[in-house]
Amino acid sequence: MLRLVVLRLLESYFRHPWLYLLPTIGMIGLASYFVLNLDKEYQAEGVLYVQNESYLASLTNVRASDVSWYLTAAQITSNEINELLRTDSFVRAIINETDLEEKMTKGESAVNETIQETRDSVWVFSTGANQVSIGASHEDPKIAYQLINALIDVYMRWQVNGEQAENETANSFFVDVIDLYNSELAAAREDMVQYVETHPQPLRGDRPETEQMEIVRLQAAVDLAASRVASALDKEENTRLAMAQIESDTRQRYILIDAPQIPIQPEVSLKRIALQAGAFVGVGVFLTLAAICGAAILDRSFRFPIDAKNRLELPVLSTLPDTAPYYRWYQFRKRRAARAQEKEPPQPNLIESEIVPAGTAVGSTGA
């Protein structure tokens, strides 16, 4: 069955090859036209070096290690930026730092268009284990340059803010807790002082055992409250230190190796060329394939012996070739012989010229 399908598709194509290729050729022509008339844009590029872990982080353990064993640091970063670029808030933050901001005040549709335009203008991909290439293209060279800088800045800020937020939460928690613990410590000390004042040391001998036990209990409560305060203070200091270190750590982890420059000459993006041309050619090929398949499906006639075998379940005794070309050739020879005969004196035994092709007879009977 598969053989039959393949044969029918091939026959369908070869019956009118140029007709079927017409959509593809047409689309290639259109693709060439569009590619040649593509608006030239200015491209700016920069390279960011990404470290798995900064020296500061390794010393202070300020940041939990999120390094994957199967993705490089550059891949993680490029994936993260590409994911962020899908969010409107991230793109809006980029736009805020560029001259595109003016467009954002021109209504809902202009905002959406600007966001989409920005999203399409920027690309990020990893170029090695630690290098991330960031590019932007725009009709205005200044905006292309601004877009890259803004992207890097917004991403770094996002990184810092993301980790700062955790520390800020922890810090405010510990500040609240310290106040509570201090009041508990003060209360424990007050209890102790009051007890000692109400139960002074006897003039002779030791305190009674019950007093001694009570004093020990109160002292333990004071010690416990003091240790809790000390621990909370220690943690609060740690969070404050971490907050101070995070920005420095982020700056160390992401180093801009190739700073973007304001582009001087306009270029046509290869990505855009590939996308435009690919889309046109793809549509052309699809139309060609659809036409071939459609013609093969609509053709209900028999084309191959295997057709008759499969559909009728009857043996195919023979396949007789089309004799029309043979008879056309025969008629040509006959006419040529007749012309030659007109020029030369008649020859008595020219039997072949008298032969009537059977095809002519068949055509005349219509059977």
Judged by CB, which is closer to another protein: 64, or 356?
A: 356
Judged by CB under 8 A, the residue of 35, 302, 334, 337 near another protein is 302
Least distance (Å) between residue 27 CB and another protein: 24
Least distance (Å) between residue 299 CB and another protein: 8
- The answer to whether 309 contacts another protein (rule: CB under 8 A) is yes
- Under a CB-based contact definition with an 8 Å cutoff, are residues 267 and 40 in contact? yes
Judged by CB under 8 A, the residue of 70, 205, 264, 315 near another protein is 315
- The answer to whether 7 contacts another protein (rule: CB under 8 A) is yes
- The answer to whether 355 contacts another protein (rule: CB under 8 A) is yes
Judged by CB, which is closer to another protein: 4, or 215?
A: 4
Judged by CB under 8 A, the residue of 206, 322, 342, 344 near another protein is 322
Q: Is the CA virtual torsion 75, 77, 82, 87 positive or negative?
A: positive
- Under a CB-based contact definition with an 8 Å cutoff, are residues 56 and 252 in contact? yes
Q: Which span (59-67, 117-125, 268-276, 350-358) binds another protein, by CB under 8 A?
A: 350-358
Tokens of 236: 């609060």
Tokens of 106: 């021109």
DSSP annotation of 211: H
How many residues of this chain bind another protein (CB under 8 A)?
A: 46
- The answer to whether 1 contacts another protein (rule: CB under 8 A) is no
- Under a CB-based contact definition with an 8 Å cutoff, are residues 324 and 357 in contact? no
Alpha-carbon dihedral angle through residues 232, 237, 238, 239, given to the nearest 10 degrees: 90
Beta bridge partners of residue 258, listed in sequence order: 47
Beta bridge partners of residue 122, listed in sequence order: 136
Least distance (Å) between residue 92 CB and another protein: 58
- The answer to whether 359 contacts another protein (rule: CB under 8 A) is yes
- Under a CB-based contact definition with an 8 Å cutoff, are residues 168 and 212 in contact? no
- The answer to whether 308 contacts another protein (rule: CB under 8 A) is yes
Least distance (Å) between residue 109 CB and another protein: 53
- The answer to whether 65 contacts another protein (rule: CB under 8 A) is no
Angle in degrees, CA 318, 319, 320, rounded to 5: 115
- The answer to whether 298 contacts another protein (rule: CB under 8 A) is no
* d(C-alpha 95, C-alpha 313), whole Å: 71
45: three-class secondary structure by DSSP: strand
* d(C-alpha 86, C-alpha 116), whole Å: 9
Judged by CB, which is closer to another protein: 173, or 304?
A: 304
| Interacting residues with another protein (CB under 8 A) | 3, 6-7, 10-11, 14-15, 299-306, 308-309, 311-312, 314-324, 326, 330, 351-352, 354-359, 361-362, 364-367
